[in-house]
Structure 1
Amino acid sequence: MDGSWSEGVPAAVGGKRQQFGSRFLSDPARVFHHNAWDNVKWSEEQAAAAERKVQENSTQRVCQEKQVDYEINAHKYWNDFYKIHENGFFKDRHWLFTEFPELAPSQNQKDLLSENKRSEVPECRSEDGPGLTTEQHGCSSDSLGGHKTQLPPVEENVTQTLSHLEICADEFPGASATYRILEVGCGVGNTVFPILQTNNDPRLFVYCCDFSSTAVELVQTNSAYDPSRCFAFVHDLCDEEKSYPVPGNSLDVIILIFVLSAIVPDKMQKAINRLSKLLKPGGVMLLRDYGRYDMAQLRFKKGQCLSENFYVRGDGTRVYFFTQDELDTLFTTAGLEKVQNLVDRRLQVNRGKQLTMYRVWIQCKYRKPVLSNTS
C-alpha cells in the first residue's frame, strides 16, 4: 500500500487539529492546497462507477481451501506483517483526542467517571473475550521506537497468566483504577502510547491487546510502556472460549480503530456482544473503520474477494468494507445506544505527485445504557 496515504487524519489549521468534516472544497482549482478535503459529495456517475468496480472485482472468489487457510493461519499472517514492518508502518493517532474526547483528560471524563459509579466492579466472573487484529493503513510513521527492555516472551508472559483465569473484583490488572480504557487491535501502540502520554490522570489504566504476539511484544518492549498504567496482552477477537483479563461491567471506553474490518463478517456480532458485556453502564465503544467503496476496496483485483465486500490482501491479511446500517445493527443488537454514526467521504491529496483519491471511513460512538437498577 502506498505509504503516502494517511488513515484519515484531520488536517491541522493554525496548529489546532480540526474535527472530521470541517474542511470543504468549494473551489476545485484549490484541490492541491491541502492534504485532504472532508465530506466530498459523489456524483451519481462516480457512485455508479464505484459500484460497478466492486461488482467486477467480486466476480471471482478465493477458493474455499485458501479461505480456510487465511482463517486458521490469520495470526501467522499478522505476525509476519509486524516482523517485516515492526513500528515503521504506522503513525501515532493524536487526532483521536479531537474526535473522541473520552480518551483525553477533560470535564467530560470527570462526568463519566461520576455517572458510571466508577469504583464498583460486579461479582466475581470470567468474561469471554474477542481478540485483536489490527487494520493496516497507508501512512508513514512517527517513530514509536525506544530502548528495548528485557521481558519474558509474550506467549509465556501473557497467555499463561490469562488461561482459564477466573477474574475477581480485586485481582485483575488495573483493579484499583477508576477509569479504564481497552483498545482492541492495538498494533504497535499508536493509540495506546498517545493516550498514556496525554492523559496523566493516576486513576487511568489502559488495556491493549492484539491478535499478533509480535505486535504485543513490540508494545511491551517500547520505552514508553509502563506496566503500572498499562497491560498489553495477546487476544483473538473471535475466540469465544478465551476470557479478557477484566470483569464484566468494568470498562469506561473500548476502542476499535480499523480492527473489526479484519475479521470474518459472520463472527463480528458475537465479538461485539462480548465486548459490550465488558462496558460499565454509561461506558462507550468507539470505532473508526473502512466504509463501502473506499478506494482500497476499488483497488482490489479479481481473485482477491473472499465474500461480499470482504477481501484478502497480498500479504494474507483481510479487510471488510462497512455501511453505516451494518455497524448500527451490530452495536444495537449488542444492546448499545447510538451516540454517533457518520460517514466521512474524503478526498485524499498527494500534493507531491499531484494525485487525488477518494477515501470512505465510518466513525461510530455507541453507549451502554445506564439502568436505574444497575448496581
Structure 2
Amino acid sequence: MAELNEEITVETAKALTPEEKQRLEQQNSRLVSSHKASTLESGAKKHWDLFYKRNETRFFKDRHWTTREFTELLSEEGNDAARVLFEVGCGVGNFIFPLIGDKLNFKVFACDLSPRAIDMVKANILYDAEKITAFQCDITTENVYQHVTKESVDIVTLIFVLSAIHPNKFIPTLKIIYSLLKPGGLVLFRDYGLYDMAQIRFKAGHKISDNFYMRQDGTRCYYFSTEYIRTVFEQAEFEISVNTYIHRRTVNKKENIDVPRIFVQVKAMKPI
C-alpha cells in the first residue's frame, strides 16, 4: 500500500497526555551546557555541511505540496512577468526544482548556510544560471546584501529554516528578510510546531533552552507555537494573514507506519 499523507489545519496547540508531559519534564533534568550551546552556535555551518556530506540529496523529499499550500506561488492570470523569489535555506533544491519543473515564472535566488548544499544545487540538471542564482550565505548577517538587493523580492520562502537558527536571531533575521521584500511582498513560512513528535522524543541532555534542542548530529531545532511566531513576525513589522498549526499524518499500513507531525504555517506581508 502506498503512503497516505493527510494534513489538517488546527487553531490550538496539541493537548499533551500525562506521559508526554512527563517526557518533556524529564528533558529539564539535564540541559546542554552553556559552553556546548556556544560551540553549537559557532559551529552551525560546519554541522550543516557535514549533514549534506553524509546525506547528499537523499534526506529530504521534493516538496511538491508547496503550490497547494501556498497558492501565492502560482502565476497570476494575465500576468506573464517573472516574479522574484528568494528561498532562504534552500538545501539541495527540494523546493525550487519542483517549481522550475512546473514551469512557474520566477527569477530565483536561493541561499544556504552549507557550501556543500549549494554545490549540489548547482550540479542539478535543472539548474539554469539565467533563472537561478544560488549562493552560500548566513541569512542572520548582512552578507546577503552582496547577492540580493533591498526591496527587490516578491516572495521569500522560509521552509523549515528559522527553526535551525538561534532564537536570539529570529527577529533580526526577519528584519533582514523584511528589507529585501518589495512593499506588498510575502513571506511563506512552514516550520516545526510545538509538541511535535520529534520534540517529545528528545531525551535529557539535548535541550538547549525552551523549545530549542540539539540533535545527535549537532544541528539544532526550535519548535514554534503560533503565539510565539506571531510575536516574532509582528516585531519584525510584518502583517500576518495566516498563522496556524498543521497536523500531518503519514500512514503506510503495509509497513505498519503511522507518523504524526505538527507544523506551523504562516503567511505574512510587508505593508504597502
Q: Provide the TM-score with structure 2 as the length reference.
A: 0.91
Give SS of 2:255's match. coil
Task: State whether structure 2 residue 175 is matched by structure 1 residue 205.
Answer: no
Matching residue of 1:186: 90
Structure 1: gaps spanning 5 or more residues:
1-10, 12-32, 114-176, 371-375
For 1:85, give the aligned amino acid.
N
Change (3 A) 1:266 1:44: closer
State the Cα distance separating 1:34 from its structure 2 match: 4.0
Matching residue of 1:356: 258
Change (3 A) 1:194 1:244: farther
**Pairing 1:203-282 to 2, within 5 Å after superposition:** 204-240=106-142, 243-282=145-184
Matching residue of 1:91: 61
For 1:190, give the aligned amino acid.
N
Change (3 A) 1:205 1:45: closer
Q: Percent identity?
A: 39
Matching residue of 1:100: 70
Matching residue of 1:118: none
- The CA RMSD measured in Å over matched residues stands at 2.4
Matching residue of 1:53: 23
State the Cα distance separating 1:50 from its structure 2 match: 3.0
State the Cα distance separating 1:243 from its structure 2 match: 2.5
**8 Å CA contact retained: 1:58, 1:308:** no
State the Cα distance separating 1:44 from its structure 2 match: 8.7
For 1:222, give the aligned amino acid.
N
State the Cα distance separating 1:68 from its structure 2 match: 1.5
For 2:57, give the aligned amino acid.
N
Structure 2 residue corresponding to 1:336, chosen from 216, 235, 238: 238
Give SS of 2:45's match. helix
- Could you say which structure has the higher strand fraction? 2
Give SS of 1:189's match. coil
State the Cα distance separating 1:349 from its structure 2 match: 2.5
**8 Å CA contact retained: 2:154, 2:182:** yes
Q: Which runs of at least 4 in structure 1 moved beyond 4 Å after TM superposition?
A: 39-45
State the Cα distance separating 1:65 from its structure 2 match: 1.8
Structure 2: gaps spanning 5 or more residues:
none
For 1:92, give the aligned amino acid.
D
Give SS of 2:145's match. coil
How many residue pairs end up in the alignment?
271
Structure 1 residue corresponding to 2:39, chosen from 69, 76, 86: 69
Give SS of 2:244's match. strand
**8 Å CA contact retained: 1:37, 1:346:** yes
CA deviation string 1:217-247 (max 9, x = no partner): 0001111100000000001022245525122
Task: State whether structure 2 residue 216 is matched by structure 1 residue 314.
Answer: yes
Give SS of 1:38's match. strand
**8 Å CA contact retained: 1:37, 1:348:** no
Change (3 A) 1:48 1:106: farther
